Structure 1
Amino acid sequence: MSATELPASHAELMDGVYRWQRHIYNLTRKYYLLGRDRLVDGLDVPAGGTVLELGCGTGRNIILAARRYPDAHFFGLDISAEMLETASAAIAREGLSARVKLAKGDATDFNAGALFGRAAFDRVFVSYSLSMIPGWEKTVSAALAALSPGGSLHIVDFGQQEGLPGWFRSLLRGWLRKFHVAPRESLRDVLESESQRTGATFHFRTLYRGYAWLAIVKLGH
């Protein structure tokens, strides 16, 4: 899918939300986007492997992963041109441009071959993006379709705060709505269903009393 074919409403919405926020995004989000570093540490990328991040945003996670796995090659997709501008500058400052390639695209429907020159990846990860993507279930399917045999999909996102006080959940949900973020109550069920459909193994854990959910779906060889 080319940039001109993107669903303009969501792309424009994200550009509007992050046109100014992108400059302070990493500083503010580090306090409540919990579990991202744990996801990166658990990628276990093979030497010379390939990694795709869907919803790469400012590039914070992909830069961290590129440092963590210096022999791997990374690819980032985002629907927001504003975020990609920030990510590209950050990647260049880190001297990682030779190993990290970015493209504008819709995470629910993308052609990795056309965007990146390769159709499959050893790892795909999605960090706090499914809660912002309309039709996010399609992103899960698209991510699994982009995996090489034996590859794995890694997801971290808001949970249902099931072990936290009700007042905290209400305050958090109200705050998140201001940024068009909605924790996906059916995330675990969708991932289990997709794992069964693809014959993959599924690992799921709650973090911080349900504040965040972390999941890994691993394909067979």
Structure 2
Amino acid sequence: MSDSAAGAMDTIYRHQRFIYDLTRWHYLLGRDRLIADLAPPPGGTVLEIGCGTARNLICAARCYPNSKFFGIDVSEEMLKTARASIARSPVRDSIQVAQADATNFCPHALFDLRAVDRIFISYALSMIPPWKAIIESAAEKLSSNGALHIVDFGTMDRMPSVARHAMLWWLARFSVTPRIELKDAVCAIAERHGLGASFHEGRFGYAAHARIGHKKR
């Protein structure tokens, strides 16, 4: 993302950040399932790309108290809320966040991490035009036996037509575009890196879940 893109995100979230979590819980489905599936190794590292308000990071840190958590977001406005939420949380010592571009960041420079055991992306790819580059970059940053977990809007192809079109219209108002090619992209990127991949969609195709990870020996 460019500086102008970061500025655009700040404009969107300058006020929305105060009500973001209250207004998103009912339609950003599958986030808690993603967290439950992370299962980082003891003492492992977990990074969220597009951490927003840090809602997911805090939930994950509570689930895995023996791991260390890190988050990046391009919006400094969202990070204001994230830092405040982390500071109030009993897991604050386990979480670090930083402003960074998801398409071009260095975990070592930001957090002194040379590789990451678990990376997750929750409902961010549908807002970032170069979304395939983000998946590619994340796959490159995985540690040995690491895994990338993704949840985002699915194809919605099993929803009633009227409901699907209404949902897509509403999402477009917030510059959100479901990535219809997510499955193909995940499989292709995993293959390029010699990794395994899995993909499935939930009820009505509403939420898509994907995983890229090292193949079991």
Counterpart AA for 1:214 = H
Residue 62 of structure 1 aligns to a residue in which SS?
A: helix
Structure 2: state its 5+ residue gaps. Answer: none
Q: Name the structure 2 match of 1:153.
A: 148
CA distance in 2: counterparts of 1:84 and 1:94, whole angstroms: 15
- Tell whether the 8 Å contact from 1:158 to 1:213 is kept in structure 2 after alignment: yes
The CA distance in 2 between the partners of 1:96 and 1:77, in whole Å, is 17
Matched, 1:139 2:134: yes
The code of the aligned residue for 2:137 comes to A
Give the RMSD, CA atoms, in angstroms.
1.1
Partner of 2:188: 193
Asked whether the 8 Å contact 1:53–1:76 carries over to 2, the reply is: yes
Give secondary structure in 1 for the equivalent of 2:133. helix
Tell me the distance in 2 between the aligned counterparts of 1:140 and 1:208.
24
Q: 1:219 aligns to what?
A: 214
Q: Which residue number corresponds to residue 168 of structure 1?
A: 163
Match of 1:76 among 71, 78, 82: 71
Residue 57 of structure 2 is matched in structure 1 by 62
Partner of 1:182: 177
Q: Distance in 2 between matches of 1:56 and 1:214?
A: 17
Alpha-carbon distance, 1:146 to partner: 1.1
Q: CA-to-partner distance for each residue in 1:62-82, whole Å, 9 max, x for gaps?
A: 100000000000000000001
The amino acid of 2:212's aligned partner reads V
1:100 lines up with 2:95 in the alignment: yes
Cα deviation, 1:30-77, whole Å, max 9, x if unaligned, reads 010000000000001111110000000000101000000000000000
Residue number in structure 2 paired with 1:31: 26
Aligned-partner Cα distance in 1 for 2:99–2:70: 11
The secondary structure found in structure 2 opposite 1:209 is helix
Matches within 5 A, 1:39-58: 39-58=34-53
Q: Distance in 2 between matches of 1:208 and 1:78?
A: 29
1:109–1:138 CA contact under 8 A, matched in 2: no
The secondary structure found in structure 1 opposite 2:93 is: coil
Rounded to whole Å, the distance in 1 between the matches of 2:208 and 2:94 is 29
- Give 5+ residue unaligned stretches, structure 1: 1-5
Cα drift, residue 9 of structure 1: 1.3
* Aligned residues of 1:204 and 1:215 also touching (Cα < 8 A): yes
TM-aligned CA deviation for residue 96 of structure 1: 2.5
SS of the equivalent of 2:29 reads: coil
SS at match of 1:124: strand
* Other-structure match for 2:12: 17
Check the 8 A contact 1:122/1:147 in 2, yes or no.
Answer: yes
Q: Distance in 1 between matches of 2:145 and 2:35?
A: 18
